């Protein structure tokens, strides 16, 4: 009886030891060489349901491998910056916390929500390498905190980040979802010490920062109408001149028979002075296309 009790106790202790884990901030774990991490521009993911671009949304891929014999619980907090290997490409900022759980010596892959903090530079390319820098401070950390809390990770949220990082006009924050738009404008106005009334005023003439290769901030809007004769999976996405998918708006959504209209709105930053195409695919086949031309 005594031997059985001793064995059971030893088994319990062994199980408790195997279940033990340690927690770190990801930055600290990297410094302690507990993990090896690679950050890259993410490849297009058609399974993702939500707004995504090369410079916002889950646009950074992270491969992380444990070097530890312990199980690790890691946290990458919003606000940390990522530096690209190419200086002509935008620095990025993490806009949503990520929790990572690794068994001893385990390797995993994740996608990070991040946004550009240098509007005048180019968008990250697939597989372009990044390194993790220090955490943002001041208003930049403030807007990251707001986006993380609200789960705002689309184009309008990117506009809000540029209002802080590049001093864009408050009214460059636009969205068909006016509640979201005014929420973002209100946050930026508060961070910059602007009166609440300013969020409803019209765009100030000449006040927006230049966007990459052109001097005026524009928005491009329109609608794509189509008919679904039978239930089908519908994909609506934006493509550039080189036929690269940049942004997915409707991600293989099951739609019933009927008439549909999709209202789109693009910024001059997305256009980059080049021709774009908004395309609708039904069950993988191209059905509708709109050509969007840049303004002179």
Distance CA 154, CA 142 (A): 17
2's CB contacts (< 8 A; 6+ apart) are none
Residue 46 is predicted with a pLDDT of 63
The answer to whether the predicted template modeling score (pTM) of the entire model surpasses 0.75 is: no
Edge-first strand order for the sheet with 276-282 is 245-255, 232-239, 276-282, 285-292
The tokens of 30 are what? Answer: 């990297």
Q: What's the mean pLDDT in 157-164?
A: 94
Distance CA 125, CA 85 (A): 11
The separation between CA 1 and the C-alpha centre of its own chain, rounded to angstroms, equals 60
Q: Quick one: CA dihedral 76, 79, 85, 86, positive or negative? A: positive
Residue 192 is predicted with a pLDDT of 92
Q: What's the mean pLDDT in 83-88?
A: 89
Distance CA 293, CA 296 (A): 9
Q: What are phi and psi of 128, to 5 degrees?
A: -65, 135
Q: Quick one: CA dihedral 231, 232, 238, 243, positive or negative? A: negative
Residue 237 is predicted with a pLDDT of 85
CATH of 219-292, one of 3.40.50.300, 3.40.190.10, 3.10.20.30, 2.60.40.1930: 2.60.40.1930
Taking only the tens place, the pLDDT of each residue in 197-230 is: 888 865 444 444 333 333 344 567 778 888 888 8
Whether pLDDT at 262 is above 50: yes
Residue 279: how many other CB atoms lie within 10 Å: 18
Residue 219 is predicted with a pLDDT of 64
Taking only the tens place, the pLDDT of each residue in 107-128 is: 999 999 999 998 888 778 888 8
Strand partners, 277: 239, 291
Average pLDDT, the chain: 83
48's CB contacts (< 8 A; 6+ apart) are 57, 58, 248, 251
> Which segment of 101-105, 125-129, 162-166 scores lowest on mean pLDDT?
125-129
Q: Are 35 and 74 spatial neighbours (Cβ–Cβ below 8 Å)?
A: yes
Q: Are 119 and 214 spatial neighbours (Cβ–Cβ below 8 Å)?
A: no
Residue 100 is predicted with a pLDDT of 96
Q: What's the mean pLDDT in 270-291?
A: 86
Residue with the larger pLDDT of the pair 183 and 214: 183
Q: Count Cβ neighbours within 10 Å for each residue of 99-109 and write b for 16 or more, e otherwise.
A: ebebeeeeeee
Angle, helices 155-165 vs 138-150, to 10°: value is 170
CA angle 182, 184, 187 (to 5 degrees): 105
Residue 15 is predicted with a pLDDT of 46
Residue 238 is predicted with a pLDDT of 86
Q: Are 211 and 119 spatial neighbours (Cβ–Cβ below 8 Å)?
A: yes
Strand 107-112, strand 60-66: pairing? antiparallel
129: left (phi over 0), alpha (psi -120 to 50) or beta: beta
For the chain, give every domain's residue range: 22-199, 219-292
Edge-first strand order for the sheet with 21-25 is 21-25, 71-76, 98-102
Q: Label residue 296 by pLDDT band (50, 70, 90).
A: low
The separation between CA 233 and the C-alpha centre of its own chain, rounded to angstroms, equals 24
Residue 135 is predicted with a pLDDT of 95
Q: Considering the chain, what percentage of its residues have pLDDT values greater than 90?
A: 43
Distance CA 58, CA 155 (A): 12
């Amino acid at each position: 009886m005594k031997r059985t009790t001793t064995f059971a106790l030893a088994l319990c202790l062994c199980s408790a030891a195997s279940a033990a884990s340690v927690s770190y901030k990801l930055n600290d774990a990297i410094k302690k060489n507990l993990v090896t991490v690679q950050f890259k521009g993410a490849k297009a993911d058609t399974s993702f349901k939500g707004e995504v671009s090369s410079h916002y949304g889950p646009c950074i891929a992270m491969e992380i491998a444990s070097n530890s014999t312990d199980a690790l619980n890691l946290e990458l907090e919003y606000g940390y910056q990522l530096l690209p290997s190419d200086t002509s490409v935008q620095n990025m900022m993490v806009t949503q916390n990520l929790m990572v759980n690794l068994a001893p010596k385990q390797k995993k892959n994740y996608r990070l929500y991040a946004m550009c903090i240098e509007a005048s530079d180019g968008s990250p390319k697939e597989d372009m390498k990044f390194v993790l820098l220090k955490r943002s401070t001041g208003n930049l950390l403030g807007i990251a905190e707001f986006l993380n809390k609200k789960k705002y990770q689309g184009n309008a949220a990117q506009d809000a980040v540029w209002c802080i990082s590049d001093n864009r006009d408050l009214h460059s924050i636009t969205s068909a979802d006016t509640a979201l738009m005014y929420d973002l404008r209100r946050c930026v106005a508060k961070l910059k010490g602007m009166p609440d009334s300013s969020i409803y005023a019209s765009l100030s003439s000449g006040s927006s920062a230049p966007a990459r290769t052109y001097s005026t901030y524009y928005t491009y809007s329109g609608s794509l109408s189509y008919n679904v004769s039978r239930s089908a999976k519908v994909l609506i996405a934006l493509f550039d001149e080189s036929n690269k998918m940049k942004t997915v708006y409707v991600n293989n959504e099951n739609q019933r028979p009927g008439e549909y209209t999709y209202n789109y709105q693009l910024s001059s930053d997305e256009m980059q002075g080049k021709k774009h195409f908004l395309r609708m695919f039904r069950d993988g086949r191209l059905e509708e296309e709109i050509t969007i031309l840049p303004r002179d």
